[in-house]
Amino acid sequence: MNQETPILEVRDLSVAFGPLVAVDRMSFSAQRGHITSVIGPNGAGKSTLFNLVSGALRPGSGAVLFDGADITRERPDRLVRRGLSRSFQITNLFAELPVVENLRLAAQVLESPWKALLPTSASKRTRDRVEELVERFKLEEKRDERAGFLSHGEQRRLEIAVALAGRPRLLLLDEPTQGMSHGDTLDTAELIRQVAQEASIILIEHDIDLVMNLSDNVVVMHQGRKLAEGPPQEVRGNPVVQAAYFGTQVHAEN
């Protein structure tokens, strides 16, 4: 694939819930190797946009291109095999399972489907990936702990590891620092920077300092629509964005 082809391109994408147009003719591109942030007030349509891109929801109209290929209405499991992964705004772990099992389930996508018929001991690629992630995400001491017993910050860290386990080319992160302490937020920013070495990232985030520090490009959403798009400093200085977002933005919870 041509290196110039955006890793993700969204064209005129819309979806409505009854009378509410939650995503309204959204178009934007995310470049390969970049961190692209999507910001906007609560209810702007950011998570819904992720649901459309990741196949959890079907758009009413518009198209989604992943690495140049049309993936509109593709099933989520097929998208994962193609290399698109996501984390959720609400923690999405198997709380009853140990940390390593959460990672193993996610990393199994790396194996050929026929391996499912063999004992799990045959899945070397999966085991190696799990060990690598345990170390990288500093989960060694918690490896056999049930995910539900981890601290909030650890759970969110594990979630990023789970989303990364299958070696995606594109990773969608929905508010990975939500509810985190300042210290954990800084650590997570550093992790995201590292992860960006191996996957393109689209990040939904309310922490503006983090967005300004991490992003190559920022897309601003407001009432389902794109309000602005550009490099972080440019977007921050945009008077329309300031009026609609920075001026009134509250760090509200969901």
Ligand X SMILES: Nc1ncnc2c1ncn2[C@@H]1O[C@H](COP(=O)(O)OP(=O)(O)OP(=O)(O)O)[C@@H](O)[C@H]1O
**Residue numbers at the binding site for ligand X (CB under 6 A):** 17, 20, 22, 40, 42-48, 89, 254
Are the C-beta atoms of residues 73 and 125 closer than 8 Å to each other? no
Query: What's the distance, CA 216 to chain centroid?
Result: 15
Residue 44's SS3 state is: coil
Q: Give the closest residue to 113 by CA, choosing from 103, 123, 121.
A: 123
Nearest distance in Å: CB 59, ligand X: 13
Nearest distance in Å: CB 245, ligand X: 12
Which CB atom, from 45 or from 168, has the smaller least distance to ligand X?
A: 45
Nearest distance in Å: CB 153, ligand X: 19
Distances (CA, A) of 170 to 64, 66, 192, 201: 13, 9, 13, 6
Which CB atom, from 137 or from 245, has the smaller least distance to ligand X?
A: 245
Which CB atom, from 98 or from 179, has the smaller least distance to Mg ion?
A: 179
Q: Give the residue carrying structure tokens 């140049």.
A: 68
47 binds Mg ion (CB under 5 A): yes
Residue 233 touches which of Mg ion, ligand X, none (CB < 5 to 8 A by kind)? none
Q: In this structure, which amino acid lies at residue 41?
A: P
Q: Give the closest residue to 172 by CA, choosing from 64, 100, 254.
A: 64
Residue 22 touches which of ligand X, Mg ion, none (CB < 5 to 8 A by kind)? ligand X
Nearest distance in Å: CB 154, ligand X: 22
Structure tokens at 23: 């995503």
Nearest distance in Å: CB 128, ligand X: 35
Which CB atom, from 103 or from 220, has the smaller least distance to Mg ion?
A: 220
Are the C-beta atoms of residues 88 and 174 closer than 8 Å to each other? yes
| Residues of the shown chain interacting with Mg ion in the complex, contacts defined by CB under 5 A | 46-47, 89
